[in-house]
């Protein structure tokens, strides 16, 4: 995820408030270290209620922070996804909470082995600006399902939404169960230094490294949801028009300000022009009135807008061919950027080195599948990979020989929307995963327990040792 944080001063009183809430939640957890199924379900219900009852406030707040955020995108990405995460957790909660039988080796029978889920304690969540409700409340749902207390630090780049998030959580939850703390970079740094029992951060790789280092001082386990340059590979067997529509949608949803947005496209060189034409036509189909419609989301801040404009200017100066869908003259005053297709840009410019995080799309021609795989593998491991085509052997070859946090075949984004699939990165795109059962496990201690039988033969291995011990060891060796 692109780094667009900015320094905002906080006061020592905020640090004291952070400390107060943390210790309040620690004491609450000590008083109730293993909440019942009913208690957890009730908390998930409160989370659902907080979002559903305040849908219009959430839409208005996010629209205000972005200056223009598509209402439909907010309903899909913030309201529906957050509510579905909490509902899925509530539905499966009884199953997730059960101890899980684990096979016991023959020589340790008739003992029994179990994994017993146990809440960790107080969970910290640092959420980003691009999906300020979803990326705060979806992990919170998993943490509550696992029986924990939750503290959330939302982004200072969406202050109106952060205040609404704080207010709606305060209205539904006791501070000892869940709380939202608002503030700037200083508070974020203090938050990362709190000795949570687990910390989840969603944001840029550079800030993620700092969060990781701060948490390491307390040996706090960390889940990092980062980003990177997620490729879209168009195979020779692909329907170019269908692939282009999916890629254009993935790149323009939230104006490309999505950690799993397709960052660049690799297409057969002989079909490069056809791919560019299809992408442009798809964008015009999605946004026929792109210059004036509120369906097309603005860039979140002047700083991020200027960064994207600079990436395009550098590419243009380097001789790259550029196709824009939309008028910069009309869109610039709205802090919006046309879908900007950059054709075969040089590898050494910033556009090809940094995560773009906006509606700017490099399209590169490749000689075939082998070159596409090599290009992907030369870079850091991406958070997402998209493959388009009908050749199953080619598809499987790409999936086996590339490593990415997650994959959608013949579309973009949708693997992230499924609660039954874990969401997370690999390498520099992230550490750990959540969503669904994986989220419950991330925020639980899956405690291994061995129940010894009174008929166990293990005492025969106690000293003093004898020939009988040697015979028993010889028998044990056959089973290990």
Task: State pLDDT tens for residues 102-140.
Answer: 999 988 899 999 999 999 999 999 999 999 999 999 999
Residue 112, beta-bridge partner list: 451
pLDDT band at 8, cuts 50/70/90? very low
* Structure confidence at residue 1 (pLDDT): 58
Percentage of the chain surpassing pLDDT 90?
90
pLDDT band at 479, cuts 50/70/90? confident
Residue 4 has pLDDT above 60, yes or no: no
Dig out the tokens for 480 from the structure.
Answer: 């290990």
Span 231-419: which CATH code? 3.40.309.10
34 or 7: whose pLDDT is higher?
34
pLDDT in tens, 37-96: 999 999 999 999 999 999 999 999 999 999 999 999 999 999 999 999 999 999 999 999
- Domain 12-226+431-445, classified CATH 3.20.80.10, yes or no: no
Closest CA to 98 of 112, 120, 119, 115: 115
Domain boundaries along the sequence of the chain = 12-226+431-445, 231-419
71/161 Cα distance (integer angstroms): 14
* Structure confidence at residue 71 (pLDDT): 97
pLDDT band at 457, cuts 50/70/90? confident
Catalytic sites, residue numbers: 225, 259
Closest CA to 287 of 344, 239, 329, 337: 337
What does DSSP assign to residue 236?
T
Percentage of the chain surpassing pLDDT 70?
97
What does DSSP assign to residue 390?
S
* Structure confidence at residue 18 (pLDDT): 95
pLDDT band at 475, cuts 50/70/90? confident
Phi, psi of 433 (to 5 degrees): -155, 160
Dig out the tokens for 156 from the structure.
Answer: 């200072």
**End-to-end Cα spacing for the chain:** 46
Residue 302 has pLDDT above 50, yes or no: yes
Mean pLDDT of 452-474: 88
pLDDT band at 459, cuts 50/70/90? confident
Are the beta carbons of 185 and 156 closer than 8 angstroms? Answer: yes
Angle between helices 134-145 and 37-53 (to 10 degrees): 160
């Amino acid at each position: 995820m692109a780094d667009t944080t900015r320094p905002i001063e906080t006061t020592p009183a905020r640090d004291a408030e952070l400390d107060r809430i943390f210790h309040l939640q620690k004491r609450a957890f000590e008083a109730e270290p293993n909440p019942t199924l009913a208690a957890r379900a009730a908390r998930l219900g409160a989370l659902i209620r907080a979002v559903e009852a305040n849908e219009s406030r959430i839409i208005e707040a996010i629209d205000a922070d972005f200056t223009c955020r598509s209402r439909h995108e907010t309903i899909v990405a913030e309201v529906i996804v957050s509510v579905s995460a909490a509902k899925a957790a509530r539905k499966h909660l009884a199953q997730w909470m059960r101890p899980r039988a684990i096979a016991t080796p023959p020589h340790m029978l008739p003992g029994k082995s179990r994994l017993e889920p146990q809440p960790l304690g107080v969970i910290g969540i640092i959420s980003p600006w691009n999906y300020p409700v979803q990326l705060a409340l979806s992990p919170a749902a998993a943490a509550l399902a696992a029986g924990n207390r939750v503290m959330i630090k939302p982004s200072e780049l969406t202050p109106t939404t952060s205040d609404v998030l704080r207010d709606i959580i305060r209205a539904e939850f006791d501070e000892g169960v869940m709380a939202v703390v608002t503030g700037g970079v200083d508070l974020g740094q203090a938050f990362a230094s709190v000795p949570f029992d687990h910390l989840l951060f969603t944001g840029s790789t550079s800030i993620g490294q700092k969060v990781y280092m701060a948490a390491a001082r307390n040996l706090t386990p960390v889940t990092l949801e980062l980003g990177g340059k997620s490729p879209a590979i168009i195979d020779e067997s692909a329907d170019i028009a269908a692939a282009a529509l999916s890629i254009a949608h993935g790149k323009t949803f939230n104006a490309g300000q999505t950690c799993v947005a397709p960052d660049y496209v690799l297409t057969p060189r002989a079909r490069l022009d056809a791919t560019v034409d299809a992408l442009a036509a798809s964008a015009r189909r999605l946004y026929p009135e792109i210059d004036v419609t509120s369906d097309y989301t603005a860039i979140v801040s002047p700083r991020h807008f200027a960064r994207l404009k600079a990436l395009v200017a550098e590419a243009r100066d380097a001789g790259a061919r550029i196709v824009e869908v939309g008028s910069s003259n009309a869109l610039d005053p709205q802090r919006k950027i046309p879908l900007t297709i950059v054709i075969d840009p040089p590898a050494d410019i910033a556009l090809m080195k940094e995560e773009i995080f906006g509606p700017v799309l490099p399209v590169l021609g490749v000689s075939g599948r082998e070159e596409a795989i090599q290009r992907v593998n030369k870079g850091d491991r991406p958070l997402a990979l998209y493959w388009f085509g009908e050749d199953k052997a080619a598809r499987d070859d790409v999936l086996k020989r590339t490593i990415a946090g997650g994959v959608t075949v013949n579309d973009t984004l949708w693997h992230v929307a499924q609660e039954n699939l874990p969401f997370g990165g690999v390498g520099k795109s992230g550490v750990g995963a959540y969503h669904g059962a994986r989220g419950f496990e991330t925020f639980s201690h899956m405690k291994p327990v061995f129940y010894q039988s009174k008929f166990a033969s293990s005492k025969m291995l106690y000293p003093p040792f004898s020939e009988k011990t040697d015979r028993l060891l010889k028998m044990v060796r056959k089973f290990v």
